[in-house]
Amino acid sequence: MATTVDATAETALARTRRARRIVRALGELHPDARIALHFSTPLELLVATVLSAQCTDKKVNEVTPAVFARYPDAAAYAAADRDELEVLLRPTGFFRAKANSLIGIGAALTERFAGEVPGRLDALVTLPGVGRKTANVVLGHAFGIPGITVDTHVGRLSRRFALTTETDPVRVESDLGALIERRDWTIASDRMIFHGRRVCHARRPACGACAIARLCPSFGEGPTDPEQAARLIRGDAEAAR
């Protein structure tokens, strides 16, 4: 298998068309692509996303049931005993900073948003510990408002697909937003994250077993032999680690 994509000779229109073909192809390859964090309310998703920084989604999902039960609303986080909260958050790493963020988020939501998570990006990013990535996760999955989540996987795949040359997440988000239809922003992010975790790894992408290799200018960064590449593909359990 070999790629015929020459990104250096690609027109803006051709790049847009290829980006949208990639999104569709990833949907066929990963029809079950979804957010891995468990939640039932916008507040729970906001908390889980804050806790996911430098931590696996699997570990966050192990920790959050106790956190959600102990702190059911914004006021509970605002009034949380710091030592008790830190004990619950310790397994996620950076637990002191995360406790600070959750207490601050609880206070801000209580004081400025009547205890409710706002459904606007400009309001979400004013909350302690909440940047555009976290805000877009919450908007896309809790409110159904399209948002591009640029985590390490989305950033890496965007550059490998030659959809951007940027490394700054805000600029990557802008470049992808100009190529992908707005209605697909959230699901495109989910699909790229799925693909990044399972196939297009940071160190050794499984190029020879990648179903969208023909659309990728970076084909060959990883093993191109199909059997060798197939051994690199991770299942759900491995990808969640």
Residue 115: give its domain's CATH number. Answer: 1.10.340.30
What is the band of 234 on the pLDDT scale with cuts at 50, 70, 90?
Answer: confident
pLDDT on residue 130:
97
Decide: 229 and 206 in contact? Cβ < 8 Å. yes
Annotated catalytic residue 59? no
- Cα–Cα distance between 5 and 218 in angstroms, integer? 9
Q: Look at residue 75 and tell me if it is in a domain.
A: yes
Domain of 55?
Answer: 42-142
From 142, 176, 199, the end of a domain falls on 142
Residues 23, 74: one domain?
Answer: no
200: CB partners within 8 A, 6+ apart: 153, 156, 157, 160, 206, 210
- Cα–Cα distance between 149 and 228 in angstroms, integer? 31
Residue 199: give its domain's CATH number. Answer: 1.10.1670.10
Residues 233, 188: one domain?
Answer: yes
Q: Look at residue 1 and tell me if it is in a domain.
A: no
Annotated catalytic residue 184? no
From 79, 114, 142, the end of a domain falls on 142
Q: Is the pLDDT of residue 153 over 60?
A: yes
How many domains in the chain? 2
Q: Look at residue 36 and tell me if it is in a domain.
A: no
- Cα–Cα distance between 5 and 15 in angstroms, integer? 10
Q: Give residue 162's region: left, alpha or beta (phi > 0; psi -120 to 50).
A: left
Q: Is the pLDDT of residue 197 over 50?
A: yes
Residues 100, 114: one domain?
Answer: yes
Residues 129, 167: one domain?
Answer: no
- The mean pLDDT value for 206-213 works out to 95
Q: Which of 151, 190, 225, 236 is catalytic?
A: 151
Residues 172, 231: one domain?
Answer: yes
Q: Is the pLDDT of residue 1 over 50?
A: no
- Cα–Cα distance between 52 and 129 in angstroms, integer? 12
pLDDT on residue 3:
52
Q: Look at residue 37 and tell me if it is in a domain.
A: no
Picking from 156, 186, 179, 180, the residue whose alpha carbon sits closest to that of residue 169 is 156
How much of the chain exceeds pLDDT 70, in percent? 96
Q: Which of 133, 168, 190, 236 is catalytic?
A: 133
pTM recorded for the entire structure = 0.90
pLDDT greater at residue 22 or residue 1: 22
- The mean pLDDT value for 111-130 works out to 97
Q: Is the pLDDT of residue 85 over 60?
A: yes
Residues 109, 187: one domain?
Answer: no
- The mean pLDDT value for 118-141 works out to 97
Residues 168, 154: one domain?
Answer: yes
From 142, 162, 188, the end of a domain falls on 142
Pure H helices in 90-151? 95-112, 121-124, 132-142
Residues 232, 153: one domain?
Answer: yes
Work out the mean pLDDT of the chain and round it to a whole number.
Answer: 94
Residues 65, 102: one domain?
Answer: yes
Residues 160, 225: one domain?
Answer: yes
